[in-house]
Structure 1
Amino acid sequence: MPISRIAVGSPAEVGRADSLKAALAEFISVLIFVFAGEGSGMAFNKLTNNGSATPAGLVSASLAHAFGLFVGVSVGANISGGHVNPAVTFGAFVGGHITLMRSILYWIAQCLGSVVACLLLKFATGGLETSAFSLSSGVSAWNALVFEIVMTFGLVYTVYATAVDPKKGNIGIIAPIAIGFIVGANILAGGAFDGASMNPAVSFGPAVVSWSWDSHWVYWLGPFLGAGIAATVYEIFFINPSTHEPLPSSEF
């Protein structure tokens, strides 16, 4: 069972050089991802004079996030594992692939990366707001919670299948693009309903900069639940416990 492999780790782990390098890599990867993703939305609003959301806007957001995440995962993979998402880190923790101490360090770095990206966007655009994630009309917090759980399940399941599974073989080469693609596809499915976050850090940065926290809990609870379920399912049914090895500090 994955729960038996969960490790807290030592506080000293946080100060180690490899841990700090990994956290810096997560910070930079999230900054790159959020700057591209949030920036695409701001560019669309500028081009349409803050017009109504359109299918074209949804497609552009999907592509920007898919491309940005592909790059963010790729550039961080050899240093931190390229999580680029607190929910992915939580999924790795549930499966025993990262300690709690290192997870906390990643979460802090990921959230800071998102906040800095949003602040840079606000400055670079002359003060335009990075809008916080919000629920569409007619969509309740519970509707959105289900969306976030299911979408993040798909994301973390993809991470496990292409990057974590020791049997992945050559398919590991396409892990970053597969991860980017599932996020892009999920945005097409859920973007019109709750923004399709799947990533607490992506939601956190705009919320801090715009200081808007309506239903913000959905964008933490949903992804963490989806990630935990995906990690547990994959570990129990598809990873042989006898061949399981703890996650090295520099990769999945």
Structure 2
Amino acid sequence: MAITSIAFGSPAEVGQIDALKAALAEFISMLIFVFAGEGSGMAFNKLTDDGSSTPAGLVAASLAHAFALFVAVSVGANISGGHVNPAVTFGAFLGGHITFIRSILYWVAQCLGSVVACLLLKLATGGLETSAFSLSSGVGVWNAVVFEIVMTFGLVYTVYATAVDPKKGDIGIIAPIAIGFIVGANILAGGAFDGASMNPAVSFGPAVVSWTWDNHWVYWLGPFVGSAIAAIVYEVCFISPATHEQIPSSDF
């Protein structure tokens, strides 16, 4: 099972060069992702007089996040694994693919990358607001938690299937674009309800810079629960060694 392979790691790992390089890669990838994703919403608001909440704004946000995440995962894949999301890191930790110590390094780097991206956007736009994620009218906090759980489950399940699974073969080549696509699709599905974060760090940066914390816990609880379910389901059902002998294909 996934839980049996969890590793704490050594405190000395914090000072290891490869761990620090991986954390730096996560910082840069997150900065790229948030700058493009959050920036696209700010640009759409400027061009359309606060039209980011319109159907066209939702499509624009979906495309911007899908494209930016494709790039952010691609440029970090060979260094850090291209997590670009604390929830993805948590899922990898539960599957035994990263130690807890290195996970902490990733989480810090990812959150800092998001904050720096929002600060740069605020500076570059002359002080425009980096809007924090919020619930739409009529959407309760537990409705939003369910949205975040289901959307993040889809995201982390996609990460496992295309990037983590040792049997992935050639499908691993399209992992970054598959991950970008599922995030873009989920934004179309949930963006009108709670903003469709699926990523605690993406929510954290705008919340810090705008100092808006209303229901912020939703964007941590939902993604972490969804990630945990996806990681455990995939590890137990599809990665754990089979307990029976495979029937030769010639017998069919």
TM norm structure 2: 0.95
Q: Which residue of 1 aligns with 2:82?
A: 82
Q: Which residue of 2 aligns with 1:62?
A: 62
Q: Which residue of 2 aligns with 1:121?
A: 121
Shift of 1:176: 0.1
Structure 2 CA distance for aligned equivalents of residues 147 and 52 of structure 1:
20
Q: Which residue of 2 aligns with 1:163?
A: 163
Aligned residues: 242
Q: State whether structure 2 residue 218 is matched by structure 1 residue 185.
A: no
CA RMSD of aligned residues (A): 0.8
Cα deviation, 1:4-52, whole Å, max 9, x if unaligned, reads 1000001000110000000000000000000000000000100112247
Gapped regions of structure 1 (runs ≥ 5): 243-252
Q: Which residue of 1 aligns with 2:206?
A: 206
Q: Which has the larger radius of gyration?
A: 2
Q: Is contact 2:52-2:58 (8 Å) kept?
A: no
Shift of 1:161: 0.2
SS in 2 for 1:126: coil
After alignment, is 52-61 or 132-141 more displaced? 52-61
Q: Which residue of 2 aligns with 1:112?
A: 112
Shift of 1:240: 2.9
Structure 1 CA distance for aligned equivalents of residues 240 and 8 of structure 2:
22
Structure 2 CA distance for aligned equivalents of residues 53 and 151 of structure 1:
19
Cα deviation, 1:194-224, whole Å, max 9, x if unaligned, reads 0000000000000000000000000000000
Structure 2 CA distance for aligned equivalents of residues 52 and 58 of structure 1:
7
Q: Which residue of 2 aligns with 1:249?
A: none
Q: Which residue of 1 aligns with 2:4?
A: 4
AA in 1 matched with 2:229: I
Would the alpha carbon gap of residues 52 and 33 (structure 1) be closer, same or farther in structure 2, given more than 3 Å must change?
Answer: closer
Structure 2 CA distance for aligned equivalents of residues 240 and 149 of structure 1:
24
1:223-238 alignment runs, 5 A limit: 223-238=223-238
Q: Is contact 2:86-2:106 (8 Å) kept?
A: yes
Q: Is contact 2:93-2:103 (8 Å) kept?
A: yes
AA in 1 matched with 2:173: I
4+ aligned runs moved over 3 Å, structure 1: none
1:39-50 alignment runs, 5 A limit: 39-50=39-50
What is the aligned-residue identity percentage?
Answer: 86
Structure 2 CA distance for aligned equivalents of residues 6 and 36 of structure 1:
34
